[in-house]
Chain A
């Protein structure tokens, strides 16, 4: 029996959200490293979709259509959903605040990127979209300000009596090719050197994912570096390169992490 066979039945249950407990945890761990099972999962979800589309029943009430159209007309005059979420995100703790803000910022960045892409295609909406983009950009930079500002107080919590260690965190949305990287406690670099982030794909060579230098506090951010679309990441790594960056990593790897 191969490892895939071992998970075959569980994969079908997982596709229907019917797998739970230890079996679910084991399968999710396996999926992280098995593209074949991820493809089969997509297929099984498609098989389930067939079951859904076979459903028949009465048409929805006529009022539902107007209710939706009223809602989207109202929505169109409001700040985007992502903006509202970002504005209302609670500051539950210092430890989560950075990640929450970063995630909200990434969503906003995605909204902006999408909006700009559409803008180029639609002359009719140029004016309105520009105004919207300007508002969203303003909001984005306001939200990112605590991360970007050298004057911001930075607090990293770590076990007592343990020296603060370099750490980095990547937020990566493969489908949208969006990436936010936040690091702190990084060591200072020699002159004319910089850190470079690499996406390690499931197969093939590492892909550059942004060159950055830490500030005086050892903190750094990378937001949406230019990257090929839809790259599946096995891991991310950091090397030290010349300031201009490199197309292949120079050993040694100074930091590395796989998906959670």
Chain B
């Protein structure tokens, strides 16, 4: 059993020290994502609390068979931060967040290695493609909003975003 899974199992039993371990392991990444999206430390701190409280209250929502805890927390954080940015009610239930991610993200070293590789892929993209991907992911803009902002056709935006995501995937399939 991975240390993440062991900690989540302990959280299910109400073990508060296990929750503290998970916080120590993943609070940096959760906070960094929330801060990147919201650009406000107070708001990012609120998202940090909300994400970990959700994990505490509903640890069974995390299905270890369908992705790593780091990736799951990252996606939930991004979704919650975008909801907060757009001042809307949460659109996705955490139990509905099912992800499939290839690289191991359990340790700081793993995440550092993966992050460096992703930044390499991003820097190899054309600036318009990278911008479209980041506008969708970190600003939560719809494809039509991105098209309006960039003056590019909707179809081009759609293709760029998909190609960008597939380029990230490909980097870990080699």
Contact = CB atoms under 8 A, between A and B. Distances in A.
Given A19-B143, A56-B32, A45 B48 contact: no
- Chain A: interface residue count, which band? 35 or more
- Give the secondary structure class of B's interface: helix
A153 interface: no
Contacts of B14: 76, 125, 128-129
A65 B16 contact: no
B129 interface: no
Interface of B: 9, 12-14, 16, 19-20, 23-24, 27-33, 35-36, 41, 44-45, 48-49, 52-53, 56-58, 60, 63, 66-67, 70-72, 74-75, 77-79, 82, 91-92, 95, 97-103, 105, 111, 114-115, 118-119, 122, 133, 136-137, 140-144, 146, 155, 158-159, 161-162, 165-166, 168-169, 172
Interface stretch (A46-54, A197-205, A242-250): A46-54
Contacts of A20: 142-144
Interface stretch (A66-74, A211-219, A251-259): A66-74
Given A12-B162, A18-B140, A65 B27 contact: yes
A53 B118 contact: yes
Contacts of B23: 65, 68-69
Contacts of B101: 46-47, 49-50
Given A52-B74, A75-B57, 11 more contacts: A9-B161, A13-B143, A16-B136, A42-B98, A51-B122, A55-B33, A60-B31, A60-B45, A65-B24, A69-B16, A75-B53
A30 B103 CA distance: 29
A4 interface: no
Contacts of A80: 57
Nearest to B61: A175
A34 interface: no
A114 interface: yes
B107 to A, nearest CB: 12
A47 B20 contact: no
B12 A53 contact: no
A73 B17 CA distance: 10
15 contacts: A11-B162, A12-B165, A19-B143, A46-B99, A47-B166, A49-B99, A50-B71, A50-B168, A52-B77, A53-B74, A54-B118, A68-B52, A72-B53, A81-B57, A175-B98
